[in-house]
Amino acid sequence: MEIENLKNALKILEKSEEFAELIPEVRTNLVMAKKDAKRIEEVAGFPGRISRHNKQIITCLDPEFGASSHMARMVLTVLKHDPQKRSAINLKHDPFIITICKKLGLKVSSYNRSQEPEKIRSKEGGTIPWGVKEAIKKLGEVPDVIYHKGAWGKEPIITILTPDAIEAAKISVCIAQLYKNLKK
């Protein structure tokens, strides 16, 4: 079910010329966890991430489980607080995108990577769970959008959290269309 959901979500993204503009330098991944997932191997994503050439969306391979440890850690941490939010997509950071998310009524929160404790920073894979917990604590509930403004050698990123990948794709395309109009 999750693999099919991701494939259908990719079709939505591929039909949108505007979406390519939201892909960050580190590229995008779109993931979806199995219900009650606890491990990275229970979260499906796109091996090699989602990239672009001009306005064309490019993927290396079909989605598979265990393909994205970074985004999987994000979803697995969110699932501990909200079992309905099983999917995530990362977008480039731009204050306009955050404004659009708020205007769409999405709950938005953030974390500051410069405040990350050294013991977390030095542990492989520790930043994302820490950041998610900080964003939840800051908002008082699980947000629909979590962002950070980056750090030394770390690109700023916006992540959209949804129940499934199709919804993540639809929201991302909506944001991309509004972003294109706003940037005119």
CATH code for the domain in which residue 80 is found: 3.40.225.10
Q: Read off the pLDDT of residues 60-103 as tens digits, 9 standing for 90 and up.
A: 899 999 999 989 999 999 999 999 999 999 999 999 999 999 99
pLDDT exceeds 80 at position 124: no
pLDDT of residue 116: 67
Q: Read off the pLDDT of residues 13-43 as tens digits, 9 standing for 90 and up.
A: 999 989 999 999 999 999 999 999 999 999 9
Q: How many domains does the chain have?
A: 1
Average pLDDT over residues 159-176: 98
Least confident of 43-57, 84-98, 160-174: 43-57
Residue type, 157: I
Helix axes 165-183, 95-103, angle to 10 degrees: 120
Q: Which helix (H) or strand (E) holds 58?
A: strand 56-59
Which domain range does residue 7 map to? 2-183
